[in-house]
Amino acid sequence: MAGEAGAKIEHLDIVTASGTHPFLVEVMRTESERERGLMFRRTLAADRGMLFDFETEKPVQMWMKNTYLPLDMIFISRTGRVVGLAENTEPLSEAIISSGAPAYGVLEVNAGSAARIGLKIGDSVRHPLFGK
């Protein structure tokens, strides 16, 4: 996420059966920020991610257009519960990736992160965006 002028980095925790896993995330709050996402970036540190704020809970569709990094996409409810998971997404693919359930936010992290921390549907994500 280096090189992104003005990007604010925030703390986020994912809580799984194996423990609490901290990440530093860049939060995309506007439509233009959400559209750009991680496009064109070539690196993402292991403890970093990008959190998309959709402002309302609804079915969400994502894609990997112009995204060079394989990612895990974690779909999160308004209360901070994991409601969907797309692991090891294909870089540069224009295939639609659906949340499968209404989501308020999506967290993108490096591919393999979800498996590494033992993430499952129903686990929780702690960040000020959730549980208001």
Q: For the domain bounded by 9-126, which CATH number is listed? A: 2.60.120.1140
Is the predicted pLDDT of residue 18 greater than 50, yes or no? Answer: yes
pTM to 2 decimals? 0.93
Instruction: Identify whether the C-beta of residue 19 lies closer than 8 Å to the C-beta of residue 122.
Output: no
Q: What distance in Å separates the CA atoms of residue 12 and residue 126, rounded to the nearest whole number?
A: 6
Separation between Cα atoms, residue 49 and residue 24, nearest integer Å: 6
Residue 74, class by beta-carbon neighbours within 10 Å (0-12 exposed, 13-18 middle, 19+ buried)? Answer: buried
Percent of the chain with pLDDT over 90: 84
CA pseudo-torsion sign 21, 26, 45, 39: positive
